[in-house]
Chains A and B, each alone.
Chain A
Amino acid sequence: MTLIAEQELIHKLKSENYKQGAFRELLKLYQERLYWHIRKIVLNHDDTDDVLQNTFIKIYNNIDGFKEESKLYSWMYRIATNEAITFLNQKAKRNNTTIEKEQEMAINNLESDVYFEGDEIQLKLQKAIATLPEKQQLVFNMKYFDDHTYEELSEILETSVGALKSSYHLAVKKITAYLTED
């Protein structure tokens, strides 16, 4: 999406008369991208569906407060990331466990999940990602699978490019070790 097209869309989203139509357009443009971003964090389809719907409702409700200091999609990715992490924390709290234990359980459930069609190496990769700290998981998923640039990641995660590069290289090192160990 060009900068002009994005500005026009934001303008419509903030206008009472065009908000509905513009929001429909926004959904068409970003629903799949945001779905896969959230799915890689929460792993399970039903949970992803809940988080994605909440994300879009938040976008709709808060669009007037969007200051346009970053790109629209960066702002939406930030909302989606926060929603997914909040969801995982709340789920862990509800089940009286830690976020790490909750993630371990989600990984174990993948083998019997009808919406997971990964082979042995894909499953092992998910297990390897789950061993990383939260921030490294985010950086690895967004860089390795979605090919985001460091600049985009910097805007979304509000972290410096240098710190992101370091996080990613550390994550790759750990995952490679996990995947290649006997």
Chain B
Amino acid sequence: MKKELPHIKSPGFKVPKNYFETLEEQILDKIALQEVASGENPFQVPAGYFESNAEKAFAKAIQSDKTVKVIPLHKKKFVRYAAAVAAVVLIAVSIFQFQDLNQNSADESFTFSTLIESDFIDLSLIDFEYLLTDEMLDNEMILSSLNKDEIEDYLMNELDDTYLLYD
């Protein structure tokens, strides 16, 4: 038996309610908008703006061409390696010195005063002033053990600037 195409006269689609009633206005609005948009540009620029702007941009480009320094990437890499090597050497030396210092501090004879005496630490008069606290100055033990003349002689001989004596 020969098969026949069934009679289906509608594809089964529908549209939203009132779609065709509003469609006409929607299309006309779109056309109106398009006509407004395709009209003359409402924005203006000063006369000769684009000509002078092009010249300015060209001049700037030439200027920037002169001042720009091109740094090759491979050189930059070399500097990095050199900096890394220098940092490693510096750390190694620091560790060595720190170990040496620790060995010295292990020595019982090593004191703060020996460092000053051997000129490892150079203290100025001002530094001494900061180091002397009120408590130290008021200490009767120190003062009582010293004779006034001895102190005066010491200060006269040792001080570079004797302004302290007049205070």
Q: Does B15 interact with chain A (Cβ within 8 Å)?
A: yes
Q: Is B135 part of the binding interface, using a Cβ–Cβ cutoff of 8 Å?
A: no
Interface-side segment among B21-29, B53-61, B139-147: B21-29
**A122 close to B24 (CB less than 8 A):** no
Is residue A170 contacting chain B, with contact meaning CB distance below 8 A?
no
Contacts of A28 in B (CB 8 A): 24
Q: A115 contacts which chain B residues (CB < 8 A)?
A: 13-16
CA distance A56 to B31 in the complex (A): 9
Known contacts A32-B20, A179-B5; A125 and B11 CB within 8 A of each other: yes
Q: Mark out the residues of chain A between 40 and 76 whose CB falls within 8 Å of any chain B CB in the assembled complex.
A: 40, 43, 45, 49, 52-53, 56-57, 60
Q: Indicate with 1 or 0, residue by residue over A102-138, a CB within 8 angstroms of chain B CB atoms.
A: 0000000000000111110111011000000000000
Per the 8 Å Cβ criterion, residues 1-51 of A in contact with B are 23-24, 27-28, 31-32, 35-36, 39-40, 43, 45, 49
Residue B3 interfacial (CB < 8 Å)? yes
- Using a Cβ–Cβ cut-off of 8 Å, how many residues does chain B contribute to the interface with A? 23
Nearest chain B CB to A71 CB, angstrom units: 21
Residues of chain A within 8 A (CB-CB) of B5 are 172, 175-176, 179
Please give, as numbers and ranges, the residues of chain A lying within 8 Å of B20 by CB-CB distance: 31-32, 35
Contacts of A121 in B (CB 8 A): 6, 8
A24 adjacent to B13 (CB under 8 Å): no
Asked if B10 contacts A122 (CB within 8 A), the reply is: yes
Q: B18 at interface (Cβ–Cβ under 8 A)?
A: no
CA distance A141 to B14 in the complex (A): 16
Contacts of B31 in A (CB 8 A): 23, 56-57, 60
B67 contacts A by Cβ under 8 Å: no
Q: Are B3 and A39 in contact (CB under 8 A)?
A: no
Is A35 in contact with B15, judged by CB distance below 8 angstroms? yes
Assess the A118–B24 pair: CB atoms within 8 A.
Answer: no
Q: Are B26 and A180 in contact (CB under 8 A)?
A: no
Q: Which of B6, B13, B26, B27 contacts A116 (CB 8 A)?
A: B13
Contacts of B28 in A (CB 8 A): 23-24, 27
Are B9 and A145 closer than 8 Å at their CB atoms?
A: yes
Given contacts A122-B8, A179-B5, contact A53 B15 (CB under 8 A): no
Determine if B12 is an interface residue (Cβ-Cβ < 8 Å).
Answer: yes
Residues of B near A52 (CB, < 8 A) are 23
Question: What are 10 A-B contacts defined by CB distance under 8 Å?
Answer: A23-B31, A24-B24, A28-B24, A35-B23, A40-B11, A56-B31, A116-B13, A117-B14, A121-B8, A126-B12
3 residue pairs, one from A and one from B, having the closest CB atoms: A118-B12, A122-B12, A176-B5
Q: Which residues of B contact A (CB under 8 A)?
A: 3-6, 8-16, 19-20, 23-24, 26-28, 30-31, 34
